[in-house]
Structure 1
């Protein structure tokens, strides 16, 4: 059993059987590569690795000042790798199986309130050609809770604005339908009918909704820049990114009493545990209300 062959087979497994995205596949293989480097230094063979070896590896990798989150993800990646080896190569035991994941403190994501979102949208300069596009971008990010990768890959053929839905392709190429509100529909239509229609579009890119000046789909970096520039323009003290609008979308739905399963479906979360973080945000909000307004607080 050698590293190169097992990594190649593991890559195929992740791509074709697990149907993971390119970024996820790269992360898994990067985890395995770290272990490979460690084993090569000590002349250890894959099939002879024990739980003690993995523990020593984790101590070694900890010298690089990795966060507990990174260590937990690394261990999870290695467990998946050895599970694969058990299935495909008849490895007798998974050396990661009994190793505990580092304890993690769940970090609450930053969210915006309605006034902050309105201020950001109102700061967009509509006198510029890209102004209406940027307004549609913010409305869709907040109105649908999209990841930035889902936004930049949004297709015209997946807009069903007459029935107030859009279809997006999320992680692992999984498609989902998301309701879209009137504000997002309004500015999407204005952008496409009044701005985008006058652009020259690169061949093969005609179906992408959001385009740059050269007629190509927007990059992730460009969306980050748009959001950061708006935050700077209004003097917003919070550190925000396009993902902040997704957090705000979910948090405001939960605050308003939305069913957690429905929010999970709209966000495209595999596990409801991921969605439950927004109930904690809601509790923090309620606590702040009591602290601010209750006479005995």
Structure 2
């Protein structure tokens, strides 16, 4: 697929899912009126650009092979690697200039690149005690780490970040969390393989600024009571959620049916950045669920590095 950095790559669905899967890329996209721009870097990696500030969520560009979408599943012994040259290339072109990096949970496809990005940008990283322990052990400067447990409502110059208690996806016949576990902040042994990056609690984030608000979940689950009263303009919604009762309709109802629902965490992240491929049809399932639960919500699917303004 074309991933030219000047292309906005927004798909409003109808013919959307079919277009994405067929590799058909529109040349341009309509934009809203806010001063917030959302750019998707694959998986649950998002760049939120506001006037004078950039916020990253779960930035992971390296995307090494693990076997996640094979019958055997991810090989827990897969070594952790960071493609510094790839990341540097985007930084040198003016991307990823982060003030904050928000970590939803500790798994490799969410956390592996964060320590390097934090060192390069000087960003403050927010996460649980386990997330910070992992990142410190991977070399993140400790004065850049800010612990959160959910419930924090933080105001900065021109934007705000609300941290919410959340839940990881429940997968498999037993509805289990992959690579579960936690570790204290004092622990400093260095993670070497993907199984070392344990979930460590899951957070969700609501970011507001530039005349818009966005809510992100890093897994296909949530704590409904945490969401009461939230009315985001954009919901970044992961595919999946099959084990969660009324996953989509219950969530959209409690959030007041957001104007935009953008799909996240839907691509095969064993493939490199620039090859956005839906490995199991999750996009179409999610599209139908959103259309049934909230017909007025616009379903958005982006290509890698595609962006839109709500």
- Global fold match (TM > 0.5): no
Query: Which structure has more strand as a fraction of its residues?
Result: 2
Q: Which has the higher helix share?
A: 1
Q: Whose Rg is larger?
A: 1
Structure of greater relative contact order (alpha carbons < 8 Å, 6+ residues apart): 2
Measured against the shorter chain, the TM-score band is under 0.3
TM-score, scaled to structure 2: 0.22
